[in-house]
Amino acid sequence: MKEYNKLVRDKIPEIIKANGEIPVVYFADEKRYILKLKEKLQEEVSEFIESEDIEELADVLEVVHALISFKGKTFDEIEKIRINKLEKRGGFKNKIILEKVN
């Protein structure tokens, strides 16, 4: 028996059953859910950093969407905040590395 204790996508238990195994799951309360979402975000970011696989980046985005929803916001609201910051502070397209400030 493998132990995971991590947040998984909604269809994972069905997939495990289809593979002839028995998933043991529970449904998180809000406090546990936000904790597990944060852990999942770290996991997915680490996987992307390690592999640079675009599918891992899609997983990061899926967790971000879940976090946005949990916070009672919409993606459009977050996108407006992102654009506002982009206009005020710029993005990362120019590849600028700040080495130091004298």
For residue 55, which amino acid is it? Answer: E
Q: What is the pLDDT of residue 16?
A: 97
Q: What is the mean pLDDT of residues 10-27?
A: 97
What is the model's pTM? 0.89
40: exposed, middle or buried (C-beta count within 10 Å: 0-12, 13-18, 19+)? buried
pLDDT tens digit sequence for 26-61? 999 999 999 999 999 999 999 999 999 999 999 999
Handedness of CA 89, 90, 96, 97 (dihedral sign): positive
Task: Enumerate the domain spans of the chain.
Answer: 28-89
Residues 24, 15: Cα–Cα separation, whole Å = 13
C-alpha R_g of the chain: 18
